A = this chain, B = another copy of it.
Amino acid sequence: MSEFLLLRRVPAARLQRVTIQESSPFPQDAAQAGIQDSRALAAMHSRRNTFRTWDLPREAMSKIPREWRIQTGLTQQVPGDLAPFVEWFNKQPEARERFRWALRDSLDELLDGQRTGRWAYQHLTKTEKTYLGTAVEVNLTKEFDIANGEDLDWSIAGLDIDCKFSKDLGGWEIPMEMYLCADHGKRGGHTNHAAVVTWMNDDTSEWAAGIVRITDERLRWKKELDANGDRVRAYNRDNKRKLSDRAKSEVYWLWGGLQTDLPTNLLRHLDPEARERILTASLPRRPSSGQQRLNQLFREVQDRIVGRQTVLTVGQQDDSPKRARGAREHLRPEGIVVLGHQGSHPHAARALELPVPIKGEWISTRLVPVSRDDARPKFSLDGQFWARACGNEPTNPAPDLPDSRKIDGPMD
């Protein structure tokens, strides 16, 4: 142990909370203490990072009016005026994959599980919910590197188009500047613009994206006529209107309509008792700890991909991915391996016929030693074969899989 000696005493008040004196109108604080750019004083009292748990929501995230129900696998004609947009999306590599992850990430960013522990849309505040549409637009813009439009959010294939999100299918709110209307004068749009309309429902892992040309006729009108017998436009408080129910048939749905594979919100869809065991995991007579919660996560959730977001939410601390690696050591005596993206891990996942994790993904599984002629998918390490355990096969400590990149003799 090195000898370490401090030679100057520093006033003890330097980092302590300074008492506010009645005689001073303004509190002493970090600026006066010379640590203006340190979070030290704020961090002592911040409630932003307190660990807490959340309940399973009782109300649904999405409304799906009967008139707006859509099917999977639709084959629609592409309307000529929408063809440039549809072709553009079709040309983007893995567009559907990137679209569904942009939706997933938008909700996850708002949930901010690492700091808040939240894992469902319904845990958001009213104000945060209103921002989900913006987050979706921002992430799609980045994901597909879409340029700004002249008048609208985006320019796609050289044409202006807006991006609209609603958690309710058919609930998109269309502002005046998107369409021509004799009555709006200068406040209206230059032309009838197109919109990308998107929707997701994390309760059912469904989502959809469509393209529609907005017109005055395709938006809502009130049921009652005015005193002169004329139709009246149905505006909300912000002078926006929703699509009329009949306009549904004018929407061209990308990728055949209803999509059923929003990346799974693992904690949201977990068995409630398993979720409870994970989120309250602790050592005997100790408060819940991030490491114990992550150990329990990889005990309860086996043979499927666990993403970074789930790990951050369960850990609720800055270095949760490190704790995921820690779980590897803790679970080995129980026969469980936690495979990541490095070294022999992807090879092992592939050999076991499990999904293969990439960076920021993990998959755990329980292994048992098997004989060379065992029929299961297996791999060998130092002459011993290993396969995934079936049901009640007895526990056997799992092998320490090399996570350096050098492996002898992988056959793939």
Tell whether A261 is near chain B: CB-to-CB under 8 Å.
yes
Q: Does A379 sit within 8 A of B, measured CB to CB?
A: yes
Q: Which residues of B contact A14 (CB under 8 A)?
A: 350, 356
List residues of chain B with CB within 8 A of the CB of A358: 38-40, 43
Given contacts A10-B350, A27-B96, contact A47 B256 (CB under 8 A): no
Contacts of A377 in B (CB 8 A): 7-8
Q: Is the interface of A mostly helix, strand, loop or mixed?
A: loop
A409 & B4 in contact (Cβ 8 Å cutoff): yes
Q: What string of 1s and 0s marks CB contacts (under 8 Å) between A339-383 and chain B?
A: 000001001101101011111110000000000000001111111
A190 touches B (CB below 8 Å): no
Asked if A73 is at the interface (CB within 8 A of a chain B CB), the reply is yes
Contact call B3/A38, Cβ cutoff below 8 A? no
How many copies the complex holds: the figure is 2
A168 in contact (CB, < 8 A) = no
Contact yes or no, B412 A6, CB < 8 A = yes
Q: A222 to nearest B CB, angstroms?
A: 17
Quick check: B44 and A94 within 8 Å, CB to CB? yes
- Cβ of B97 and Cβ of A41 under 8 Å apart? yes
Interface centre among A4, A40, A48, A377 (most CB of B within 10 A): A4
Q: How far is the CA of A116 from the CA of B14 in the complex (A)?
A: 36
Interface string of A1-25 (1 = CB under 8 A from B): 1111111111010110100000001
Q: Which residues of B contact A102 (CB under 8 A)?
A: 48
Q: With an 8 A cutoff between CB atoms, is A397 at the interface? A: no
Chain B CB within 8 A of A98 CB: yes
Contact between A383 and B3, CB atoms less than 8 A apart: yes
User: With an 8 A cutoff between CB atoms, is A66 at the interface?
Assistant: no
Q: Do residues A36 and B263 form an inter-chain contact, with CB atoms below 8 A? A: yes
A17 to B93, CA, bound (A): 9
Q: How far is the CB of A166 from chain B (nearest CB, A)?
A: 16
Q: Which of A15, A97, A128, A411 has the most CB of B within 10 A?
A: A97
In the complex, the chain B residue whose C-beta lies closest to that of A115 is B142
Interface check A208, CB cutoff 8 A? no
Q: In the complex, A412 Cα to B45 Cα: how many Å?
A: 24
Contact in complex: A4, B379 (CB < 8 Å)? yes
B409 engages A3 (CB within 8 Å): yes
Is the CB–CB distance between B304 and A145 below 8 Å? no
Stretch of A132-140, A193-201, A275-283 lying at the B interface: A132-140
Contact between B8 and A353, CB atoms less than 8 A apart = yes
